[in-house]
Amino acid sequence: MVALLLFAGTGILLYDVASVRAGRTGMAWRRSLTDELAGRRLDDTFMLAGAAVLAALGLWLLVLALTPGKRSLLTMRPDVPQVRAGLERSAAALVLRDRAMQISGVQSVRVSVARRKVRARATAHFRDLEEVRGELDGALREGIGQLGLARRPGLSVRVRRPAKRR
């Protein structure tokens, strides 16, 4: 999306420069912008703020260019050397949530899967919290192992009682 916006903006600017070179007047927005920029000093607050924003935008675009794509996919172990597979984070979270809901005493579970960590927040309603936490930890560790991920993420489990209603 950013590339399309930059492409469109560059195209409009190139059209305006070509029309000025052909003898026509430039677009009004470009004339007013160049007059405004020519009248300002380089140590002006607006100039420094604009430069900072553009530098931050450029740095962000560099970071996006250098980081790997498909951040929502978790890479799986290559069982066959020619085949590369990935598992979506939401699918992994759903599988682990279903596994956690099978433990007795668990009322509800929220599982979030990041690249390096799996976080599970459970609500237990009738069993001891430590027993539920132990069973939940074991079940989720086994579930993470069965997902077949290339890099095994860490696990964080929190168990609490449901909020009391008035």
The pLDDT tens digits for 74-98 are 989 888 888 888 999 999 999 999 9
pLDDT at residue 126, as a whole number: 86
Instruction: Express each pLDDT in 88-146 by its tens digit.
Output: 999 999 999 999 999 999 999 999 999 899 999 999 988 899 999 999 999 999 999 99
- pLDDT for residue 165 is more than 80: no
Element (H, E) at 125: none
pLDDT at residue 154, as a whole number: 95
Which segments of the chain does DSSP mark as H helices, in order? 2-21, 28-39, 45-66, 89-101, 129-146
Which one is predicted more confidently, 163 or 146?
A: 146
Q: What is the rounded distance in angstroms from the CA atom of residue 166 to the CA atom of residue 164? A: 7
Which domains are assigned to the chain? 2-66 (no CATH), 73-160 (3.30.70.1350)
**How would residue 66 be classed by pLDDT, with cut points 50, 70 and 90?**
confident
pLDDT at residue 98, as a whole number: 96
Instruction: Express each pLDDT in 21-54 by its tens digit.
Output: 999 888 898 889 888 888 888 888 989 999 999 9
Nearest Cα residue to 100 out of 116, 113, 85: 113
- pLDDT for residue 68 is more than 80: no
- pLDDT for residue 1 is more than 90: no
CB 162 within 8 A of CB 123: yes
